Amino acid sequence: MKTPLSGKTLPELSSFVKELGEPAYRAKQLHSWIYVKWAKSFEEMTDLPVDLRAKLEEVAQVSLLKLAHMQVSKDGTRKYLFELPDGKFVESVLMSFNDRESLSACVSTQVGCAVGCTFCATGFLGFTRNLTAQEIVDQIMCIQRESGKRVSNVVYMGQGEPLLNTEEVITSIHTISKSVGIGCRHLTVSTSGIIPGIKRLAEEELPIVLALSLHTPDRETREEIVPISKKYPLPKLMEALADYADVTRRRVTIEYVLLAGVNDTDEQARELAQLVRDVPCMINLIPYNPTESPDGITPYKRPSMKAQQRFKHLAESTGKTVTIRLERGTDIDAACGQLHNAYTK
Ligand code: SAH
Ligand code: SF4
């Protein structure tokens, strides 16, 4: 197989050129063609000698991922289906916002997910495998090469649980900030609450935002809708979050998917406000996107706008900022929790 170069770090590119018997500065040239000029082919790399370009053509390829399919939503959101080297697929999303210049890429970290949240389309798939750091980084590079647009923010909110693939995720964060050129302040890692992963990420002391998919302040309901939470009790999780905010000096985000009749009661809104009281955070309410389970059932309903507003108001009672997430790409199934590889062979 040819060696894919996009998504590799500078030291990795250096060992690649060394193996080819080329001088070390060639690695820097390749790095710049890939990450600064977003080259799609070796042919474009005009400051490399012709015979080197021919050699690269033989032994290497620019992109690691293959674009298998793309959909564009009415609001400009683009959903990408990428084929991985082993024939598996993952999805990524590029979101644009009319009121800002910024573009956010939502990347996947695993094929499927083992956490099994009962409202999530990826959760229905089960777990297949972890992505490598290079596979994570190349999603962003592929999006930039395809769209010709600079991604300004990255959210680790695609398929998979980032903190069950922590080392590759951390490596990808370093490559994104050093090579792709998107600073840590513009990165958000979202987790269902894997305490060892939160602690490991905190050790890196990077100013990235951590988002916790909390979804309910009550233990029983949480164990039902986020099954892995049986392993990681809420009080310990809140401690880990507060420590994370302390070390990184960044407020964490609490994500809360609103499911009618399950986690949207007045009592839960008040309990939520109390639970996160001492954690430096803001709360992001996500209206549920109806997704079908494999047997064709949509297990939940989205609360009415009125109920969403009421919940927001009550959750604000201890002074935290509470927002309701703006939806993107729902017409192409590119909204939160809808990534499920409809095209899998
Ligand atoms: N595994 C990580 C990151 C990927 S999911 C996590 O769970 O945090 C990204 C976000 O989408 C999470 O907050 C998740 O709870 C939310 N989500 C999943 N399914 C959803 C659905 N059907 N409607 C709305 N949000 C959903
Ligand atoms: Fe996995 Fe996140 Fe979906 Fe839960 S919400 S199943 S953790 S991807």
Note the pLDDT tens digit of each residue in 248-285: 999 999 999 999 999 999 999 999 999 999 999 999 99
| Ligand 1 pocket, Cβ-based, cut-off 6 angstroms | 119-120, 157, 161, 190-192, 213, 255, 257, 286, 288-289, 291, 336-337
CA–CA gap between residue 46 and residue 159 (Å, rounded): 37
What is the reported pLDDT for 339?
A: 84
Categorize the per-residue pLDDT at 85 as very low, low, confident or very high, splitting at 50, 70 and 90: very high
**CA distance from start to end of the chain:** 22
CA–CA gap between residue 225 and residue 192 (Å, rounded): 11
Superfamily of domain 66-344: Aldolase class I (3.20.20.70)
Q: Is the pLDDT of residue 181 over 90?
A: yes
Q: Is the pLDDT of residue 158 over 80?
A: yes
Mean pLDDT of 312-334: 91
Q: Whose CA is nearest to atom 5 of ligand 1?
A: 157
| Ranges 115-124, 173-182, 293-302: which has the least confidence | 293-302
91 is catalytic: yes
Q: What is the DSSP letter of 115?
A: S
Q: Is the pLDDT of residue 344 over 60?
A: no
Indicate which atom in ligand 1 lies nearest the CA of residue 287: 24
Q: Residue 101 has which token pair?
A: 């210049």
Phi-psi region of 291 (alpha: psi -120 to 50; beta: other; left: phi over 0): beta
What is the reported pLDDT for 297?
A: 87
User: Average pLDDT, whole number, for the chain?
Assistant: 95
What is the reported pLDDT for 99?
A: 64
What is the reported pLDDT for 328?
A: 82
The CATH architecture of the domain made up of 3-61 is Orthogonal Bundle (1.10)
Strand, helix or coil for residue 167 = helix
Q: Whose CA is nearest to atom 6 of ligand 2?
A: 123
Indicate which atom in ligand 2 lies nearest the CA of residue 160: 8
Categorize the per-residue pLDDT at 345 as very low, low, confident or very high, splitting at 50, 70 and 90: very low
Q: Where are the domains of the chain?
A: 3-61, 66-344
Mean pLDDT of 10-28: 97
Backbone angles phi, psi at 88, to 5 degrees: -80, 170
Out of 22, 91, 161, 255, which one is annotated catalytic? 91
Q: Residue 204 has which token pair?
A: 């890196």
What is the reported pLDDT for 343?
A: 56
**Dihedral sign of CA atoms 282, 115, 333, 155 in order:** positive
Pseudo-torsion of CA 270, 231, 280, 243, nearest 10°? 150
Q: Is the pLDDT of residue 100 over 80?
A: no
Q: Whose CA is nearest to atom 3 of ligand 1?
A: 157
pTM, full prediction: 0.96
Scanning the structure block, which residue is given the tokens 């015979």? 51
Q: Whose CA is nearest to atom 8 of ligand 2?
A: 160
Q: Is the pLDDT of residue 122 over 70?
A: yes
**Cβ-proximal residues to 64 (8 Å cutoff; 6+ apart), any chain:** 4, 6, 7, 85, 134, 135, 138
Q: Are 123 and 304 in contact (CB under 8 A)?
A: no
Q: Are 340 and 124 in contact (CB under 8 A)?
A: yes
Mutate to test the pocket of ligand 1, among 119, 154, 166 (most ligand atoms within 8 A of CB): 119
Q: Which amino acid, one-letter code, is at 208?
A: I
CA–CA gap between residue 123 and residue 213 (Å, rounded): 14
336 is catalytic: yes
